[in-house]
Amino acid sequence: MLEIEGRRFVVQTKEFPKAAPGGYILPPGQVTVVVPFEPTGFFRHGWHSWSPSWWVKEGDEGWLEQIPEHRRSLVDDPAYFSIWPHSGSGLGALEERTGRIALLGSLGTGCRVEFKHNVMWGWPEVPTTPWFFGYGAEEQVFACYVSLLERCLGSKSPRNPPKVWCSWYGYYRDIEEGLLLKVSNELTDFPIEVLQVDDGWQKDIGDWEPNDRFPRGMAYLAREIQGKGFKPGIWLAPFIVRPTSRLFQTHPAWFLKGSDGDPILAGINWGGPFYSLDLTHPGVIRWLKGLFASLKAWGYEYFKLDFLYAGALPGIHSSPRPREEIYRFGLRVIREAVGNAYLLACGAPIMPSLGIVDGIRIGPDVAPWWDTYRYEPSTRNAIRCALHRLWLQPLVHTDPDVIFFRTKYNLLTPSQKKLLQDLAQIADFKATSDPPEWLDEEEKEEMKQFFAEDLNCRRMSRYTYLVGGREVSFTV
């Protein structure tokens, strides 16, 4: 029986817990916590960047039936999808009517939290990972948890998050050398620091070489970007491979396998399936080191790493280890290869990315429209998830995805665009994909002012913030 702030909780562990600020540190292994109240909501934390993360009500899972099986990896951890609505990755919390919460969170990788009624269960894939259990005001409990998590996994670098223009939400895959050189000229009047080339430059997913639309190569493009005063950035998905790629065809032993010996399906995109590299295979590690050494030698200083969840999928590895430890090892290989370059993790398992990358996307993709299914890209879904991941700010730069200023090719209302811009101020990560030629003069001035000013932001409640002295309500 543990007592916190006058409340008594029944906790079952293998050893007696130790007192810590805001609660207790529980020993490694499976734990059970019974709270002395009927919860009004459960905080479920999604596995990776795009996984739904918010306060849910028990029984709020009917829409899960809409998710096709081949898309489940893109939504959350496929190993636990059957218990998805009643579980979270790494942590979970129950809320009582007073607004106080009881939080159970791992202090490492490879852990799940499940709940039913007033009971939470924590169980690890890694049996050496301890837990934190705390109770009190939401912001205070998360702060205590983050402080302990920082000691175990590390925190963000002291550098400031860069101000980024990326090509994706303007041109998607329809990019080519001349177009990006034109954009770099048009952006010189804006306070942008990084010009990032997104998907569309490579020959194939797995073959990270420039395609025919970049005839002078990516090193040439990086030099031109630098010459305009920007840091060159580049997108790639280093842990996945399409079967059409030369890499897939020449190295069949390099892939995560299922029990039938076939490569594990990591998802479907680009018109077909893609598969996961086995990050325990020595050949894969040598290839990763060489790949990122080349990218750095080309002159790129900012890397947007996408679909990273594939490095932690369940399957048969050449050297069996806990899968989030394998993923973390793969990230360290990249970090060592690029040195002090900026790493932005996207589609990334949150907990095992901490302490290695500089920034993490904390929600699904935004879109130039407001709403769709809860598991599909939309501005509403992106805002909702990002708001519930802002507790990560002491540990990593929190990227809520790009913001829009344009009216062209955009279905968002002015108030919806403003809400997204306010979130970027709060998250302290500013990025856009709007081509300057799509903006009218008023929109250009708005974009310049937004990137030039850093407003003071303060949390008032779960969904209310002061942004530059103006109250903003995120009831989305």
Q: What is the pLDDT along the chain (476 residues), one digit of tens a residue?
A: 999 999 999 999 999 999 999 999 999 999 999 999 999 999 999 999 999 899 987 666 555 666 777 778 888 898 887 666 678 999 999 999 999 999 999 999 999 999 988 999 999 988 899 999 999 999 999 999 999 999 999 987 889 999 999 999 999 999 999 999 999 999 999 999 999 999 999 999 999 999 999 999 999 999 999 999 999 999 999 999 999 999 999 999 999 999 999 999 999 999 999 999 999 999 999 999 999 999 999 999 999 999 999 999 999 999 999 999 999 999 999 999 999 999 999 999 999 999 999 999 999 999 999 987 666 789 999 999 999 999 999 999 999 999 999 999 999 999 999 999 999 999 999 999 999 999 999 999 999 999 999 999 999 999 999 999 999 999 86
The pairing of strands 464-467 and 457-461 is antiparallel
Who contacts 147 (Cβ-Cβ below 8 Å, separation ≥6)?
Answer: 21, 394
Cβ pair 318, 267 in contact under 8 A: no
> Would you state the pLDDT for residue 476?
62
User: Are the C-beta atoms of residues 446 and 418 closer than 8 Å to each other?
Assistant: no
Q: Could you give the 3-state DSSP secondary structure of residue 24?
A: strand
* pTM exceeds 0.85 for this model: yes
Q: What is the model's pLDDT at position 376?
A: 78
Q: DSSP 3-state helix, strand, coil percentages of the chain (rounded to 5)?
A: 35, 25, 40
Where does the chain hold its CATH 3.20.20.70 domain(s)?
164-473
User: Is CATH 3.40.800.20 the classification given to domain 164-473?
Assistant: no
Alpha helices in 339-440 (DSSP H): 350-353, 379-387, 414-427
Residue 62 has a pLDDT of: 58
The residues annotated with a catalytic role in the active site are 306, 365
Report the alpha-carbon distance of residue 340 to residue 303 in Å, rounded: 11
Task: Tokens for 188, please give them.
Answer: 């010189």
Q: In what order do the strands lie in the sheet with 265-269?
A: 240-241, 272-276, 265-269
Strands 194-197 and 231-236: parallel
CB-CB neighbours of 457 under 10 Å: 17
Per-residue confidence (pLDDT) for residue 207, from 0 to 100: 98
Look at strands 397-399 and 359-361 and give their pairing. parallel
Q: Would strands 2-4 and 101-106 be described as parallel, antiparallel, or unpaired?
A: unpaired
Tokens representing residue 192 in the block: 């942008």
pLDDT at 475 (0 to 100):
84
Give, in order, the Cα–Cα distances in Å from 201 to each of 7, 156, 265. 57, 29, 24
pLDDT score recorded for residue 464 = 97
Angle between helices 217-227 and 282-298 (to 10 degrees): 40
Tell me the residue ranges of DSSP E strands in 283-411. 302-305, 342-345, 359-361, 397-399
- What is the SS3 assignment for 196? strand
Specify whether the CB–CB gap between 109 and 351 falls below 8 A: yes
What is the predicted pLDDT for the residue at 59?
64
Q: By the 8 A CB rule, do 118 and 37 touch?
A: yes
Distance CA 235, CA 217 (A): 15
Residue tagged 């790629």 (tokens): 245
Q: What is the pLDDT of residue 85?
A: 63
